[in-house]
Structure 1
Amino acid sequence: MAKSDVFEIAGAGPAGLAAAITLARAGCRVTVHEAQAEVGHRFRRDLQGIENWSSREDSLAALRSLGITTEFDYLPCHSGAVFDAWDQRYAIHSREPLFYMVERGAGPGSLDSALLRQALAEGADVRFNSPIHRIQTGGILATGPKSADAIAVGYHFDTSMPDGFWAICNDDLAPRGYAYLLVMRGRGTVKSCMFRGFKQEALYVERTLAAFTRLVRLDMNNAQAHGGAGNFRIPQTARSGIHLVAGEQAGFQDTLWGFGMRLAITSGVLAARSLLDGRDYDQRWRTELEGLMSASVVNRAFYCMLGNRGYRWTLRHMHKHAPDARDALYRYYRPSMLKRILMPLGRGFFRSQRRDESCNHINCQCVWCRHGRQRFSP
């Protein structure tokens, strides 16, 4: 591939910027089109986590091995607490960080700002307020979720609380999901992450706030309401017409908990490498990502069957028999023959709301056409 080759990317999220970094570093001319006015526009200082349990390799080391910066603010999270529906507290510990808490959005120190700086330093042209509807040459689509399989709704705020993380497994607060509270350096995020019952989101958020106030003395100042959606699917193909699709637009997410940043960034790098060396992208992401994603679908199916009493039993069991939470989650997420056998169960309990439609245009160049057939359609 000649180094004068030109590529366009739709979307300046983690997947799109990771792809841009990889292509620009290889000497290609790269233009990233972002419809919003700034990077990370939909997150607005949301605190999130980069999971560190899906492989033995540390997630930040994995990002660096992909050529992606880790020069953003983060909090290594080793210890926290989870509560059941009866307010019983279960301490969570791990020798290595369970996850790295990061800030999303356009602020200084955020993950998105760090990726943008690296992309610009490598020579990528990142254009904001630049919606794009057609890419004439093969490019990468990374414009985020297209439907809501789960929503996370709550508040960002200033706080005097100490750094830490807390969660509640209670369907009365977050149906088939979990409520969570994250605090890092005077900033906090509290949300109900729910997989059903979206029409009653205000009620679940109210209950979540009351629960954290009662259990950990939630302290919120200058609170700002915020919500977001997640899309989870294993695509039959991560191609759309002549384009490659990365990140949540392709469905690359953790179906159990929604920790998708590591998957999004990895998929962006894999898509860029496929443009560079001509290797099949679908084969690449299946080798690197499909086993993990399939395991998370099976995990989601079991979680959906538990209910409040099942959550309590699981928390008690893990607290007693799995003192290191990272090791326990690694075992749950590890691809195996058993997980492959149980995939029909996963298909039965989890059906993505994303409905892709085949396009009859030959070599379509559109950004919005939905070509990929998904495995979990009815």
Structure 2
Amino acid sequence: MTKIAGAGISGLSCAAKLSESQEVTVFEKSKDLGAKFGQSVFAVRAYNTQKDFNEELKEIGFKNVSLYPIYTSKKFSPSLNCQTLKSKKPLFYNVLRGKSSESIEANLYERCKNNGVEFIFGKAADFEDVDVIATGARDVKITGLGEAPYSRVGSGTAGDYPCKFGYGANFVDASIENNTIYIFYDMNYAPQGYLYVAPFKESVTIASVGFDVSKFKEMPKIFGKALKENKILSEIIDGATELSHFSYISDYFLPKTAIIKGKYYIGEAAGFGEASKGFGFRYALLSGYFAANSILEKYDYDQLWKNSFLQELKEGLKARSMIQKMTNQDYESLIAIYKNIDNLQDYMKKKSRIFNL
């Protein structure tokens, strides 16, 4: 019997694999699945990776996963000067979160239930009584930073480790080009970060991701200002139906070990996230799967996750130190430099550590 704290992506991934061979109980303090982000869209990087994400999913047991490929990215400077990049192969795979039958949570939850996993919703687990910590990013409220529900691998606070925060909204029936992701660089709307528009069929998520944590409490106001003042965003949501808002904050660090006092830390509870852009979805899936394999087969969990994505985490931290020095004028200059590069091969030859996708 294995007990898991948290029914997010990493916890579900771990439970799905473990339940193939043993009994599993998952505790989730929310009253339902997918409550944190609602019906939101997440982008998973597909370019410049060792493995195609779709193939990687199959390797860890996924079947019939709904992925929305992105072949075009549009990056905008503060003045809305645009650089368009097209690729014959996916630049990203967008995934749907939440309760929808097409969501990644629904896929994992169905696998878990078919394998007999017991879910206890509306109850936070006793930390001493669980084997796997999958509590995700810090629990936050719009009006404050909140506190972590469990001890973490590090003692990370906003001042100790690179931190990412976000505030966004989910829509249906928005007006956006098919298979295209929009990325806006503007300190007025995304402090030291970026604002993105990610589609999944009729669903669209718009979110501002920032790295200047002192601005977190201002994010509802900053985000609302972006939707009103940015003419491209205004056109996208004109006539759309808003479903929900969400907010979060995450700490990123490189733990020497993700096993503390015999407990496996996975996903963002372990600090796994790409510090310069915020990609963490893939790491959540993989770390949950690796922890399960470690429990079942006695593999070295730390060696598994380090071999898979430690180098990516290190590169993200290096890029983060440079991004935090960027200004709006810097982004205007970079967009101008890259504006005439429209294919992935030339882009990857020229791209800087700062200005990755």
Could you state the TM-score of these two structures normalised by the residue count of structure 1? 0.79
**Residue 44 (str. 1) matches residue 35 (str. 2):** no
Shift of the alpha carbon at 1:135? 4.5
Counterpart of 1:355?
A: none
Counterpart of 2:207?
A: 191
Counterpart of 2:343?
A: 323
Q: Which runs of 5+ in 2 are unaligned?
A: 139-147, 149-157
> Retained in 2: the 8 A contact 1:96–1:326?
no
In 2, the alpha carbon distance for the partners of 1:215 and 1:156 equals: 13
Percent of aligned pairs sharing the same letter: 24
> Retained in 1: the 8 A contact 2:341–2:347?
no
In 2, the alpha carbon distance for the partners of 1:293 and 1:79 equals: 25
RMSD: 2.5
Counterpart of 2:152?
A: none
Question: Aligned with 1:217: secondary structure?
Answer: helix
Q: Which runs of 5+ in 1 are unaligned?
A: 1-5, 334-378
Change (3 A) 1:91 1:233: same
In 2, the alpha carbon distance for the partners of 1:173 and 1:103 equals: 24
Counterpart of 1:256?
A: 276
> Retained in 2: the 8 A contact 1:36–1:129?
yes
Question: Aligned with 2:327: secondary structure?
Answer: helix
Greater shift after overlay, 303-312 or 6-15?
A: 303-312
1:280-306 Cα deviation digits (max 9, x unpaired): 322322222211100111111222222
Question: Aligned with 1:175: secondary structure?
Answer: coil
Change (3 A) 1:326 1:237: farther
**Residue 73 (str. 1) matches residue 66 (str. 2):** yes
- 1:112-261 mapped onto 2 (5 Å cutoff): 112-136=105-129, 139-146=131-138, 149-162=163-176, 163=178, 164-196=180-212, 197-214=215-232, 217-220=235-238, 221-223=240-242, 224-261=244-281
Shift of the alpha carbon at 1:216? 6.7
Counterpart of 2:155?
A: none
> Retained in 2: the 8 A contact 1:55–1:330?
no
* Residue among 61, 84, 93 paired with 2:77: 84
Change (3 A) 1:328 1:39: farther
> Retained in 2: the 8 A contact 1:54–1:330?
no
Question: Aligned with 2:204: secondary structure?
Answer: strand
Count of residues paired in the alignment: 325
* Residue among 4, 12, 22 paired with 1:17: 12
In 2, the alpha carbon distance for the partners of 1:232 and 1:81 equals: 27
In 1, the alpha carbon distance for the partners of 2:290 and 2:94 equals: 24
In 1, the alpha carbon distance for the partners of 2:80 and 2:256 equals: 42
Greater shift after overlay, 324-333 or 82-91?
A: 324-333
Change (3 A) 1:267 1:160: closer
Shift of the alpha carbon at 1:48? 1.2
Change (3 A) 1:183 1:288: closer
Q: Which amino acid aligns with 1:159?
A: D
Q: Which amino acid aligns with 1:306?
A: M
Shift of the alpha carbon at 1:248? 0.4
> Retained in 1: the 8 A contact 2:137–2:248?
no
Q: Which amino acid aligns with 2:222?
A: Y
In 1, the alpha carbon distance for the partners of 2:18 and 2:305 equals: 17
Shift of the alpha carbon at 1:212? 3.9
Q: Which amino acid aligns with 1:312?
A: E
Q: Which amino acid aligns with 1:200?
A: E
